[in-house]
Amino acid sequence: AQSVTQLDSHVSVSEGTPVLLRCNYSSSYSPSLFWYVQHPNKGLQLLLKYTSAATLVKGINGFEAEFKKSETSFHLTKPSAHMSDAAEYFCVVSDQGDDKIIFGKGTRLHILP
């Protein structure tokens, strides 16, 4: 069975410093992995998707994530945080062999001025 764990419910960083949001997953098959962002009172927006073409995936707004099979991780990073990055971020796993999409519980990112 597939599952996804976001290791931090809240992360605070100063503007201009790097961002790291951690995600671990378990999957029986070949997973697709996603990161979505949700700004207050908005729907979820797709940041990036991993499908096995390349382990380092670049997304929108300067975010990227690296798929590490040995560590079953798919952490989201950004070199320099901006105030507009303050939002909730969701890691999502989807198995090719299982018709389910599983969302993590979310990580709220706070940006300090």
Q: Are 43 and 32 in contact (CB under 8 A)?
A: no
3-class state of residue 83 by DSSP: helix
According to CB under 8 A, which residues from 50 to 89 bind other proteins?
none
The residue with tokens 């378990």 is 26
Tell me which H or E stretch contains 30.
none
**Of the ranges 20-28, 43-51, 53-61, 67-75, which one interacts with other proteins (CB under 8 A)?**
43-51
**Residue from the set 4, 21, 23, 44 that interacts with other proteins by CB under 8 A:** 44
18 token code pair:
């790097």
Task: Decide whether 36 or 63 has the Cβ nearer to other proteins.
Answer: 36
**Of the ranges 12-20, 59-67, 71-79, 96-104, which one interacts with other proteins (CB under 8 A)?**
96-104
Task: Decide whether 11 or 44 has the Cβ nearer to other proteins.
Answer: 44
CA atoms within 13 A on the CB side of 82: 6
For residue 85, give the DSSP letter: G
Query: Does 42 contact other proteins by CB under 8 A?
Result: yes
**Residue from the set 25, 35, 36, 50 that interacts with other proteins by CB under 8 A:** 36
